[in-house]
Structures are given as structure tokens and as C-alpha cells.
Amino acid sequence: MKKLQLWLLAFGVFGIINTEMGIIGILPNLAKYYHISLTDAGLFVSLFALAVAISGPIMPLLCSGMKRKKALLMVLSIFAVCNLISIITSNFMIALCARVLPAFFHPVFISFALSMASASVEEKAAPKAVSKVMLGVSGGMVIGVPIVNMIADITDLRMAMLFFALANIVSLLMCSVFLPADDKQEKISYGKQLTILKRKNVWLSIFGVICLNGSIFGVYSYISEYLIQISGFSSHMVSMILLIYGLANMVGNTLGGKWLSETPLRLFRVFPIALIFLYMMQYVLGSISWICAGLMLVWGILAGCGGMMNQYWITKACDDAPAFGNGLFLSATNLGTTIATSVCGMMINTSIPSIFLGGMIFICIALAVFIYQYGSQMVNKKIMMMEES
């Protein structure tokens, strides 16, 4: 039953992320449908992301007194209703409001789902359980986006947007039936949860995650341009490569959960070195298409591991306030994406491959933060292993 619950949570996350990301591919359709510019249509993406970043630490905290199943069903209901409103309205402002409103509740579902996954198993196995739920994030981006595009091409915009609502409705029905009604979640006062912000360790983790996530998404934001201009791929091939990247990302989620359960410190040591080496290879050899394609596959796996490391890094520092910690995780990752995209965007003006230099800067900072935070623990563990041998 626990496995079923994890997959239900993963599907619920898929529906939420699909609503967030799936719209990217149909922005031109939205612009035409609402008779607005493509820039105005971009508000469907940017305002959603802004709402998530703002509400990340706030909404999970405010909803922490609710039973988790009740909170999850509430969020899915809001997403389903707002998606249905978007289908039937022809007014841009109403559609935009229906788009932004559920975004404020997005962190509640994600943070509670991750907390439920962690609590469903013993502490050591928590990263594996979380990785199953995190597959919903990758699935929402990798599977949801092309499905929505295909539906829009074959039918029309409203049918594509209906897919958003149906994913939420199916998840709502399944969760209402199969998720347990009892909730053993310990009720933690708002004040006690907020006190974790007094900890130096928490702020170091937040800063580290901003840089770690930025090292991936600052580069990813411009990778299509790189693949076309530097590696010489056609736009069709770029779509195929990004699909393979996304599928590899899902593999990385699973592997990351396994490694974090078994050897977390080793993963945090090896990951930055592997990512820096990969970026160096792309910077030097990315113009050779077959090498670039192979590196993209490896990068997808590393990015999946990185997503798991982000969640692990913050929640380990906030283990006595898991829902609030997961909210901080969502805000930190969104902030990291925003900052790194801006920095790499400035660097791309020098040359397109410079995005990889930007990624290396962010991962080096993340590594420095981790060493500062856990360096003594790593040294002590190595000494213990040497003594045992």
C-alpha cells in the first residue's frame, strides 16, 4: 500500500508540474487565442513562477495545521477548478487570474507530498521514497510538455488545456480513495517552525541549493540555442535531445535517491567534480555533435541527481519542520533558476559556450558552501574509515 501511495503522490505532482510547465509549448497558441502579444502570453509562465517563489515558505507554513490528505485534496481541487475556468473563458485577465491563483498553492502540494513520502519509511530510506515522488516533477516536464503540444496540434488549444484539468481531476479522485484518512503528522506551531530560520546551517543550505540548482538551470535555460548554433543540430533534433535529456533526468532521480540513502557525503563530493568536468567537455568539444549528444545524456542523469540533492540538503537542515523545509526548498530552487538564468544570460553575450562557465561558477560556489558546512564531518568519517581498515 505504501508503494501505491507514493505513486499516487507522484502522479499528483505530475499534474501540478504539468500545469506549470506544459503551457510553455503552447504560448503562441495562447497569444493567438486571447489576441495578445507573445510577451503578454509569457505572463502565464513568469507570474506562475513568481507566485511559487513567493508562496514557497509561506503557504506550507500556514497550512501546516491541516491534515495532509485534506490539504492535498484542497490543492488538487483548486487546480482542477481553475484549469476548467481557463478552458471556458475567452477573457485574458480572467484566464491569467485562474492561472496564478493555484500557483500560490503549488508549494503546499509539493512540500506535503515530499513530507508524506519521507514519513512513510524509515529515515535512511527517505531519499528513495522522495525520489519516487520527484519522478512526477521530471514526468511533468518531460512527458507533459510534448503531450500538450501534440494535443494542441491535433485538436485545438482548449483540448490541450483540458489535459491539465483531467490530470488534476484523476489525481484528486485517486488520492481521495486510496490515501489514508488518518494523519500521524506531528502538529508543530508556527513559531517553532519559524525558529529554524535562526539557524546558520539552514541559511547555508538555502544558499547552497540556490547555487546548486542555478548551476543546472542557468545553463539549461539557453541550451537549445547552444545545440543549434554551436553543435549544429536542427530544431527537430534539439527536441529529441531534450526529450532524451528529460528521460535521463528521471533515471537520475532514481539513482540520486538510492545514493543519498546509502552514501550521501560521497555523492555531494563526486557530483560537483563530475558536473565541472562535463561542462568543460561541452565548452571545448560541444561543436562535435555526437560528443555533445552523449554529454547531454550524462548531463540529464546528473541533473536528476542534483534535483534530489537540493531537496535532501535543505530538508536535512530542517528535519524538525519538514513541510516548511520543503517550502524553503521550492523557493530556493526557483530563486536559483532566476538568478543563474540572468547571470548566464549576461555571459552568453560574450559567447554562447560561456553559459558553461557560468554553470561552473555556480557549482564551485555550491561545493565551497558544502565543504564549509560539512567539511569536518567528512574528515572525521574518513579518519574513522582509515582506523577501521
The residue segments making up the domain with residue 235 are 191-388
The pLDDT assigned to 21 comes to 80
pLDDT at 385: 47
Q: Which three cell numbers stand for residue 295?
A: 554529454
- Give dist(CA 112, CA 116) in Å, integer: 6
245 and 302 both lie in a single domain: yes
Domain boundary among 125, 154, 184: 184
Is residue 155 located within the same domain as residue 22? Answer: yes
Q: Which of 203, 209, 183 is nearest to 63 (CA)?
A: 183
Residues 109, 153 share a domain = yes
SS3 at position 268: helix
Same-domain check for residues 339 and 367: yes
How many domains does the structure of the chain reveal?
2
Residues 271 and 366 in one domain: yes
Same domain, 105 and 208: no
Q: What pLDDT does residue 228 have? A: 86
Q: Please tell me whether residues 8 and 157 are part of one structural domain.
A: yes
Is the same domain home to 54 and 161? yes
Question: b/e map of 100-119 (b: 16 or more CB within 10 Å)?
Answer: bebbbbbbbbbbbbbbbbbb
Residues 228 and 307 in one domain: yes
Q: What is the pLDDT of residue 75?
A: 96
CATH of the domain at 357: 1.20.1250.20
pTM here is: 0.80
Final residue before a domain boundary, out of 164, 184, 204: 184
Closest CA to 24 of 12, 14, 38: 38
DSSP letter at 349?
T
**Tens-digit pLDDT string for the chain (389 aa):** 577 888 899 999 999 988 888 887 688 888 889 998 877 888 887 788 888 888 888 888 888 788 888 999 999 999 999 999 999 999 999 999 999 999 999 999 998 898 888 887 787 788 888 888 888 887 887 777 778 877 887 888 899 899 999 999 999 999 999 888 765 555 666 677 778 888 899 999 999 999 999 999 888 878 888 888 899 988 778 878 888 888 898 899 889 989 998 889 899 999 999 999 999 999 999 889 999 999 999 999 999 999 999 989 998 888 777 778 888 888 888 888 888 888 888 888 888 889 999 999 999 999 999 999 887 555 455 544 444 44
Q: Looking at the chain, list the stretches that DSSP marks H as alpha helix, in order from N- to C-terminal side.
A: 2-21, 27-34, 38-41, 43-55, 58-62, 68-88, 92-103, 106-119, 126-139, 145-154, 157-178, 190-194, 200-220, 223-229, 235-262, 264-285, 289-317, 322-347, 354-388
Task: Please tell me the predicted confidence (pLDDT) of residue 376.
Answer: 57
96 and 209, same domain (yes or no): no
User: Do residue 375 and residue 274 come from a single domain?
Assistant: yes
Q: Please indicate, yes or no, whether residues 202 and 317 belong to a single structural domain of this protein.
A: yes
The residue among 184, 199, 224 that closes a domain is 184
